[in-house]
Structure 1
């Protein structure tokens, strides 16, 4: 029987790399510290013994409710050594969401990251009969009357003092591990209903690692990755596991709000992210260009024209650029593009996988023109992340790339993207009906996404099937495509397109408040609140004009005819966004029903 790749990965890599850094994280003084492979493997072994000492059995579900921390990667692999199942829960989850997952997975042990998560977990204990033990990863103050919780240091002492019998039990479990063992339950974000736990086996991860080794050949142990997205997100989880199999150091970013500063400190060569990250960088760069003197602006624009021609017309398809174009590109590379990458913090950049939402072609073309290798991809929790991504050469602009090795894609009824692969989940935990509905009669997984495959084999997505709607005039609208287009504008941060069974398309728009404040200062607009600012006639006129320009390439029936500027951003706390920052359309329609209705009043 083939050995699971992940079960003994830290131990194998420690033998190979020794004192080379496996992970890095900031200490209590915010100074980045390396964690060697030898130390990491030792911590995984100690934690695996501690799990067994606490009574964790084979096939038990062990949950982690925390922001990114190195300990998350210790507990994952400690579970694998025990043939237990790792269940990652978003650090931003509400009490209701936490209770649902713990009850659904019947978790007896829960790791929490900080005081906030500990407090929520304590409330959950009263509502979850299965939850017997909480372990706090961070040194926090536990409730005086809490006899069920312990700190990470005490947890690890259990492993350090474990008996030979416990050690033999864990070693026996690891030796007996097989690909059909469940590795993780990854709960979907639940845009249209309650979350579902995708059952991902070690065989799924084995196939995913093999497929990525074949496709992502441009990285090696000399790279450094930044774990920026939550490790509870399959994209970050899968990418981080891949990096660990390659011996790539993973720097663990704890606070997503501080990512810009963190990148400056770590200067990663690779990092997976969602399109919104690059959209914000794109906006910041263009604001910087707009503030330059006319001569510098002219130089940068010329550089971008040369970069586009060289990287998109030639390098993209593996062709060598003419010598005169290559010479000009090298000139601008030294004087413009290198400085730009240094300013962002990716001057040693290699590849930057990007997925999770539609990404604007304008953004992709801009960064490739600058020599920043954004690798657009597509995948789902149910497919152990990647289905498609850009190949090294020959990728198609506007697509999400071609299927990676071991993955087959076809287009089914209603243009639905269907997938068959050893990376596809076993099913949804405790949900046989939903599992059956997720597959076609001949075994293809239904992604719920609409798209098409072009003559080059590249997949183009059009929208989520559940998001598509029809106006009262009978015209089908793909809201995500319109939202992606509008979010290219630097004055727009978030958009929810409305119009299901309505006369025309409208939108709820969340401005980029910092950019809007700059506009207000230049126009000498006085305001006491964001509500007052977004209602100002000059601001309304600004957005009307910008929407008119942005929507020039849309069909008349697709264009946003009316809009409302919101004074606050959509948030997870209010239920408007999922943990992966996707819009919960039903919730938005409910919460803003009166605002939406007012846009359709004659």
Structure 2
């Protein structure tokens, strides 16, 4: 297979696919999905590339993209690559302070923004960003600040390249584009300390596309991928580039909260997600089964039981199932399971990659049992996403799969996962000390993740920096128990506390609607949410559920006390990163009084 440089990839695909649909996006005013052909995609990228030259963008210059997922993000990306420029995506939820830091750190002159929030955040810090020359706005509905005399809308920007009068310059730059060019600087969300800009070169992406082709052999140009995660996230970004390289139709979801609607409208064959999505699917189905009675309930339970036997004990292990079991499975597959998948919107599913956190064992067993091909993987920004992933057969539940070709993994001191390979970053932007600390003397990259290899598969057990040491000298990896507990239908978020403490405690964000429903069913009287979440019967109910779920853990790893919180952890308060990982140091600070009170008991 020929692997095209990202500077020409869209144009080569347009030559191949022409008027076939490359992208779709939802127009909220028209309430419909708008198709974009490969030819249109290529033409717009070319026009955008010319407009960048007209704007004054130089080769190797850093360009900022501060937006939710939109086709314009891809236009600017590929147009920048054609000019040998570098794109720096910001999370759409980034605070003004975070935006200011990235603009100044990367010396950004031109910043593309999506909607009103991103524009307002950029305008707010404009006076503190001395390099920032102009803001270009994707959404024409954005209302400009009365003092703003320099920002322009994307339509006006695009008109600068309408007649392709700078195409000779673009072509000259593209001709010089090489694998050694820097493609992106992806700022880590920073669970501790200030963000670091991970440098990803074109060589990283080209290698990632190549090694994924060897593993994900079932992707074809007949597939339809729904873009759910932020394009800022290396997982979705790398995935979209793989899809473009395979001719897959990419449907761009603008509003993350609308994903349930979008899935049913698009009926995708592929979709990247985080495990929380499948946890909610599992809890929803489990709740439906629990609230069904009679023959229908038995039918659903039998379907899951047969699917578990057929898919987990045979297909997963590459074995041929007995004929009678296979016939039973086919019956349930065409009835109960097909109805379930259709209800979610994934009845056309090919496979669904998931990463970013551990997929709970119960959830994994359920989705495989009902015939949903969820592919679990492990990776990080610094490895251009995937290091390892499972495939449809020959994998162990609980592992993050087999390591991809040409990626080297070894287990170092303190069980840390170390990496080498062509997909690994060359380092952090303008941070030589951090770069030096990130690599061993012989070139292995420190992931900071704890894990082990067994029978050719990689298992991840936690983060080194999250490893708690109790005052009794016991080490605890909190993610394992947190992953176990978050599958409970009454638990939305959880943060374990144990570092330098005499026992494990937890802050729990309940699923408030479930608690209220439970109170109503059991005649529990309360005046407000505070009273409900401290009611003895509610606390006893949670204790029983927690004790059941944590019984497989060692005594010193188990939660002894917990507090139910009346509001969720928040990005605004700094408790969550842009990728919704908890910042333990911020939570420890914000909830210090609550935590200390648990240790007075």
TM-score bucket of the superposed structures, by smaller chain: over 0.9
CA distance in 2, matches of 1:427, 1:78: 25
CA distance in 2, matches of 1:26, 1:526: 45
Q: How far is the alpha carbon of 1:145 from its aligned partner? A: 2.8
Matching of residue 86 in structure 1 with residue 87 in structure 2: yes
Query: Aligned to 1:143, which of 145, 148, 170?
Result: 145
CA distance in 1, matches of 2:487, 2:353: 19
For residue 160 of structure 1, give the secondary structure of its aligned residue in structure 2: coil
The correspondence of residues 119-138 of structure 1 with structure 2, limited to 5 A, is: 119-138=120-139
Q: 1:112 to 1:427 in 2, by over 3 A?
A: same
CA distance in 2, matches of 1:97, 1:280: 30
What is aligned with 1:416? 416
Contact 2:373 2:392 in 1 (8 A): no
Contact 1:4 1:203 in 2 (8 A): no
What is aligned with 2:590? 591
Contact 1:414 1:450 in 2 (8 A): yes
Q: How far is the alpha carbon of 1:526 from its aligned partner? A: 4.0
What is aligned with 2:507? 508
Q: How far is the alpha carbon of 1:528 from its aligned partner? A: 4.7
The correspondence of residues 437-586 of structure 1 with structure 2, limited to 5 A, is: 437-454=437-454, 456-586=455-585
CA distance in 2, matches of 1:396, 1:357: 17
Contact 1:25 1:253 in 2 (8 A): yes
CA distance in 2, matches of 1:216, 1:145: 51
Deviations 1:535-562, CA, capped at 9 Å, x for gaps:
2222111101111111111111010000
Q: How far is the alpha carbon of 1:530 from its aligned partner? A: 2.7
Q: How far is the alpha carbon of 1:392 from its aligned partner? A: 3.4
What is aligned with 2:160? 158
Q: How far is the alpha carbon of 1:261 from its aligned partner? A: 1.0
CA distance in 1, matches of 2:257, 2:515: 20
CA distance in 2, matches of 1:107, 1:580: 23
Contact 1:275 1:359 in 2 (8 A): yes
What is aligned with 1:341? 341
For residue 237 of structure 2, give the secondary structure of its aligned residue in structure 1: helix
Contact 1:65 1:110 in 2 (8 A): yes
CA distance in 2, matches of 1:76, 1:517: 47
What is aligned with 1:306? 306
> Mind listing any 5+ residue stretches in structure 2 that lack a counterpart?
none
Q: How far is the alpha carbon of 1:487 from its aligned partner? A: 0.4
Q: 1:167 to 1:529 in 2, by over 3 A?
A: farther
TM-score by length of 1: 0.98
Matching of residue 111 in structure 1 with residue 118 in structure 2: no
CA distance in 2, matches of 1:4, 1:269: 25
**Matched length:** 598
Contact 2:3 2:206 in 1 (8 A): no
For residue 466 of structure 1, give the secondary structure of its aligned residue in structure 2: helix
Deviations 1:313-348, CA, capped at 9 Å, x for gaps:
111122221101100101111121100000110000
Contact 1:4 1:178 in 2 (8 A): no
Deviations 1:46-74, CA, capped at 9 Å, x for gaps:
00111111011011110111110111111
What is aligned with 1:368? 368
CA distance in 2, matches of 1:119, 1:100: 16
CA distance in 2, matches of 1:101, 1:280: 34
CA distance in 2, matches of 1:137, 1:274: 27
Contact 1:448 1:464 in 2 (8 A): yes
CA distance in 2, matches of 1:491, 1:123: 40
The correspondence of residues 17-56 of structure 1 with structure 2, limited to 5 A, is: 17-27=17-27, 28-56=29-57
Q: How far is the alpha carbon of 1:219 from its aligned partner? A: 1.2
What is aligned with 1:180? 180
Deviations 1:132-181, CA, capped at 9 Å, x for gaps:
11011001222233122000110110110453xx2111110011101000
For residue 159 of structure 1, give the secondary structure of its aligned residue in structure 2: coil
For residue 346 of structure 1, give the secondary structure of its aligned residue in structure 2: coil
CA distance in 2, matches of 1:162, 1:209: 30
- Quote the RMSD (CA, aligned, Å): 1.2
The correspondence of residues 204-215 of structure 1 with structure 2, limited to 5 A, is: 204-215=204-215
CA distance in 2, matches of 1:258, 1:571: 20
> Mind listing any 5+ residue stretches in structure 1 that lack a counterpart?
none
What is aligned with 2:77? 76
Matching of residue 388 in structure 1 with residue 388 in structure 2: yes
Contact 2:5 2:178 in 1 (8 A): no
Deviations 1:559-588, CA, capped at 9 Å, x for gaps:
000000001111111100000110000000
CA distance in 2, matches of 1:379, 1:242: 16
For residue 88 of structure 1, give the secondary structure of its aligned residue in structure 2: strand
CA distance in 2, matches of 1:4, 1:248: 16
Q: How far is the alpha carbon of 1:298 from its aligned partner? A: 1.8
Contact 2:3 2:210 in 1 (8 A): no
For residue 428 of structure 1, give the secondary structure of its aligned residue in structure 2: coil
Contact 1:307 1:371 in 2 (8 A): yes
Q: How far is the alpha carbon of 1:14 from its aligned partner? A: 0.5
What is aligned with 2:599? 600
TM-score by length of 2: 0.98
Aligned structure 1 segments of 4 or more residues deviating by more than 6 angstroms: none
CA distance in 1, matches of 2:218, 2:319: 18
Matching of residue 244 in structure 1 with residue 212 in structure 2: no
